[in-house]
């Protein structure tokens, strides 16, 4: 488990006209500094929403030294994902439901210099993907249906988190357990207690008056949840 809870603010909830400033707001020091910045790439095919793509990610990479965590909610990630790794994204996550050859894709992402992440939707079982996950650095458990921000947390997915946590703790998997969807002051402690390492938070950070303080507060709550 990560030494301390990792917080990854999601720019899906930020002001798209001020993305550079919005990322700078969570790029401070100490507990108020985000560990990763989570960027949701949606193609209006895999999910019913369209956000941004590689040109915007390249611009963001030039504007910050906070590691960029790209979550690709797109069809045909086998074709497109490596471009994000080559651009300099720290972590590139693809969906199990969309990847044609997840093991080969993980190897390609790592070869291109990024950490490789595999995401599963709330209704997708973890077990069929355990063998593939041996090749990944991150497991992103979706706690809402992917496609839109501001949805309510689905607590049933925490059973998948607990299973993944056990497999990591026993050495069967070596990866960061990440969660995305509805993470806020009301839900982060139960997610931490289940074994999450990295928490994606959108409106809980960017809906706050001071996003940096919100990052620090969420981290403190997650540490409490982890301590039980």
The structural domain count of the chain equals 1
User: What residue numbers does the annotated binding site for a divalent metal cation cover?
Assistant: 38, 40, 71, 180
Q: Which one of 35, 43, 137, 180 is the catalytic residue?
A: 180
Q: Which one of 40, 43, 137, 197 is the catalytic residue?
A: 40
Residue 197 is among the residues annotated as catalytic for this protein: no
- CATH code, domain carrying 69: 3.20.20.70
pLDDT value of residue 2: 67
Range(s) of the domain holding residue 163: 6-227
What is the SS3 assignment for 22-78? HHHCCCCCHHHCCCCEEEEEEECCCCCCECCCHHHHHHHHHHCCCCEEEEEECCCHH
Residue 137 is among the residues annotated as catalytic for this protein: no
Q: Report yes or no on whether pTM surpasses 0.75.
A: yes
Residues of the chain with pLDDT under 50: none
User: What residue numbers does the annotated binding site cover?
Assistant: 10, 38, 40, 71, 147-150, 180-182, 202-203
Look at residue 1 and tell me if it is in a domain.
no
Look at residue 64 and tell me if it is in a domain.
yes
The 10s digit of each residue's pLDDT in 19-41 is 999 999 999 999 999 999 999 99
Tokens 């390492």: give the residue: 197
Instruction: For the chain, give percent helix, strand, coil, nearest 5.
Output: 40, 20, 40
> How far from chain centre, in Å, is Cα 131?
21
Look at residue 150 and tell me if it is in a domain.
yes
């Amino acid at each position: 488990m990560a030494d301390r809870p990792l917080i990854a603010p999601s720019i899906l909830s930020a002001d798209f006209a001020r993305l550079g400033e919005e990322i700078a707001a969570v790029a401070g020091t100490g507990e108020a500094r985000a560990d990763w910045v989570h960027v949701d790439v949606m193609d209006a095919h895999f999910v019913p929403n369209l956000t941004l793509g590689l040109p915007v990610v390249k611009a963001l990479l030039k504007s910050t030294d906070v590691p960029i965590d790209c979550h690709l909610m797109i069809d045909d990630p086998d074709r497109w994902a490596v471009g994000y790794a080559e651009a300099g994204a720290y972590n590139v996550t693809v969906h199990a439901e969309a990847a044609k050859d997840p093991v080969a894709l993980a190897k390609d992402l790592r070869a291109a210099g990024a950490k490789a992440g595999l995401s599963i939707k709330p209704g997708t079982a973890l077990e069929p993907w355990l063998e593939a996950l041996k090749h990944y650095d991150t497991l992103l458990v979706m706690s809402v249906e992917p496609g839109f921000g501001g949805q309510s947390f689905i607590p049933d997915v925490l059973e998948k988190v607990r299973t993944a946590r056990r497999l990591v703790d026993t050495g069967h998997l070596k990866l960061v357990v990440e969660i995305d969807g509805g993470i806020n002051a009301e839900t982060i402690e139960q997610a931490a207690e289940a074994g999450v390492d990295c928490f994606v938070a959108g409106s809980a950070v960017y809906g706050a008056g001071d996003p940096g303080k919100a990052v620090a507060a969420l981290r403190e709550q997650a540490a409490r949840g982890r301590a039980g």
